[in-house]
Each structure stands twice: as structure tokens, then as C-alpha cells.
Amino acid sequence: MVNLRGRSFLTLKDFTAREIIYLLDLAAEYKDKKKKGIAHDTLRGKNIALIFEKTSTRTRCSFEVAAHDLGMGTTYLDPSGSQIGKKESIADTARVLGRMFEGIEYRGFEQSIVEELAKHAGVPVWNGLTNEYHPTQMLADMLTIREHFGHLEGIKLTYMGDARYNMGNSLMIACAKLGMHFTACTSKEYFPDITLVTQCMEYAKQSGATITLTEDVDAGTKGANVIYTDVWVSMGEPESVWAERIRKLSPYKVTKDVMKNAGKNAIFLHCLPAFHDLKTKIGKEQGEKYNFTELEVTDEVFESKQSLVFDEAENRMHTIKAVIAATLGA
Ligand code: CP
Ligand code: NVA
């Protein structure tokens, strides 16, 4: 019997395949209840803190709606409105919030910060994205893939773009744990860190997963079940990296040809937000500066039937609800 009560959720490295599947099953149950209008406010009277040192739409809304559905209260601490990191250390913040809240979500910079928070809080801490990992996103992605294909084992997932940051790292870990075939298809400077690759190779030995790193778009995307990408410049990275990213990663844009090479049954996923057109402030500014109209994915692919990005976004809420409920013992 899986029991995650009292555990923090900082990276999927800390969880077994069985525990991850348990969370996916629980999320599916909550999704079913939500669709049928069956109340599940079993955590009434509890409260959680949501610390966001970087901005968010999906993750924040998912935590707030999930907590509300479970009967809980939430307090949102925005990127500028608290003492965190400026007048008060993470260890002190953790000990204060741990006295008031039953759980704490943290989105921010280094993974070491969320680890430090978890060490001192005395209550479960959930990683809502760090530079290195985005574990709640993984549960939504895996649920979406499982809903579509009916299983996870043996699924071939190809990640294109910046594979050495939170999304590439986390997808490699998730695939390695769950017996999936992970390919990072990108320029070699953007391959995941070798230490993490080695660690994932160990997980893969247990699960039957494989890990491939390639610069070859044709070989890397052929027959893939899932083509995945993310923005080329992540939150918190300096403006100065744009030119190099566009130069190095443009060959790894997800296009109609990439999807065709993967096959007609392949799906497209993206954690969002995405630069698939110029209808955003940053997209427009950068598009004018570097002369592009779409970046990591073409608008055609983003809007196609193969794109399940909005099912994926919805699943953020159901899976985050499962994490809160399992770790707080709903
Ligand atoms: N995918 C994701 O984490 O989205 P937000 O940045 O909007 O939370
Ligand atoms: N790599 C992106 C993910 C956003 C959900 C970032 O860190 O900005």
C-alpha cells in the first residue's frame, strides 16, 4: 500500500514508479469526481501557502482551485510582496510558515532553495518549478499521455529544444522511472547534464526505459509517440541568451514535417506558455528583433488535432490535487 502522508514533493527522483502511478491513479479519481460534480472537500479547515518567486498562470491556478475543491484555504505570496530572500532567510521563512500552514508550495530559482524550505518547514513542501525541475508538470504530462495511449510503458517521447533545464531534466527522469523511451533531440550544448543522464540510466535499468541523446532531427523524431517542447528561454534567464538560443535551437523547432516524421498517431505536448505566434508582448518584441513569427513550435502544429496542450493544462489541476491530498492525508 502506497502512503505518501507527510512527504514533500521536490523532484520525481525521490519517488518510485509505484508511487508515481499511485498519484496518477488518484488524480484520475479526482478528475472523475470533479466531472461528475461529486464533492471531495475532505481537507476542510486546513490551509496552504503558495510562494511564487517567478510568475505563473497554470501552477498557481491549479494549486488554488485544487485546494478550494479539497475544502482548504490558500495564501498567495507573490514574487515581490513578501520578506522571502530579501529580509528573511529561507530557513526562517520555513519555520514561520510551518507554524501556520499544513503545506507549502514553492516556485523559484535553485532547487537547493526548495530543498532548504522542506528541511526546515516541518510540513510537506511542493516544488511548483525550479531551474532544475518541474515535477508537478510531469504528473500532468504522464496523465495526459496515459489517457491518450492507455499506457505509459514503452511510449517513445522526444523532447526538442532546451533539454538541460527544468522540463528536459524532469521528462528524462519521469520516462526513466516509468519505462518509457526518452530522446533529447537538440544541439549538443543543450543535452541534459551528464550526471543526471547517468542517474537516469540507472533508473532505466530497473524499468526497461531507454535514453537517447541526438542532434539528428530525422532519427530523433522518427516513430515518436509524443513530441514535446518548451520555450527556448526560461523564466529568470537573461535577455542576452536569446540570440544564441534562436541560432542553436531553430533546427529543433516542432514543425509539420517533424510531426509527419513521428507519424499520424503522434501527439504534441508543451507545458505552456508557448511562443507559437506573435500574440504576446515578449513574442512580438523578440519576433521583431530576430525576425521570426513563431518560435519553438509552429502555429500550425500548436493548433492541430495532434496537439493536446489544453488537456495537458487541465490535468495540472487534477494532478496537483492528488499531490496535495496524498501528502496531507486526505
Ligand atoms: N506550465 C506551467 O508551469 O505554467 P505556468 O508557468 O503558467 O504555471
Ligand atoms: N522552462 C520553462 C517552463 C515554464 C513552465 C521556464 O522555466 O520558464
Beta strand residue intervals within the chain, DSSP E: 47-52, 73-77, 103-107, 125-127, 156-160, 181-185, 210-214, 226-229, 267-270
The total number of residues shown for the chain amounts to: 330
C-alpha of residue 273 to centroid of ligand 1, in Å: 7
Say what the alpha-carbon torsion angle 58, 64, 65, 66 is, to the nearest 10 degrees: 100
Ligand of minimum distance to the alpha carbon of 312: 1
> For the residues of 103-170, what is the DSSP string, one character each?
EEEEE-S-HHHHHHHHHHHSS-EEES--SS--HHHHHHHHHHHHHHHS--TT-EEEEES-TTSHHHHH
Pairwise CA distance, residues 23 & 320, whole Å: 9
The pLDDT assigned to 315 comes to 99
Ligand of minimum distance to the alpha carbon of 230: 2
Give pLDDT < 70 ranges for the chain.
Answer: none
The pLDDT assigned to 258 comes to 98
In ligand 2, which atom is closest to the CA atom of 165?
1
The pLDDT assigned to 85 comes to 80
- Any residues with Cβ below 6 Å from ligand 1, and which? 56-59, 129, 137, 271-272
Q: Whose CA is nearest to atom 7 of ligand 2?
A: 234
Do 156 and 265 form a contact (C-beta atoms < 8 A)?
no
Cell 523511451, residue located: 181
- Strand, helix or coil for residue 277: coil
The pLDDT assigned to 252 comes to 98
- Which residue among 50, 59, 166 has the greatest number of ligand 1 atoms within 8 angstroms of its CB, and so is best to mutate? 59
Backbone dihedral angles phi then psi of residue 157, each to the nearest 5 degrees: -115, 125
Amino acid (1-letter code) at residue 16: T
Residue 238 CB contacts under 8 Å (≥ 6 apart), including other chains: none
The pLDDT assigned to 81 comes to 78
Cell 537573461, residue located: 238
pLDDT digits (tens, 9 = 90+) for 180-215: 999 999 999 999 999 999 999 999 999 999 999 999
Q: Which residues are catalytic?
A: 107, 134, 137, 230, 271, 316
Q: Whose CA is nearest to atom 6 of ligand 1?
A: 56
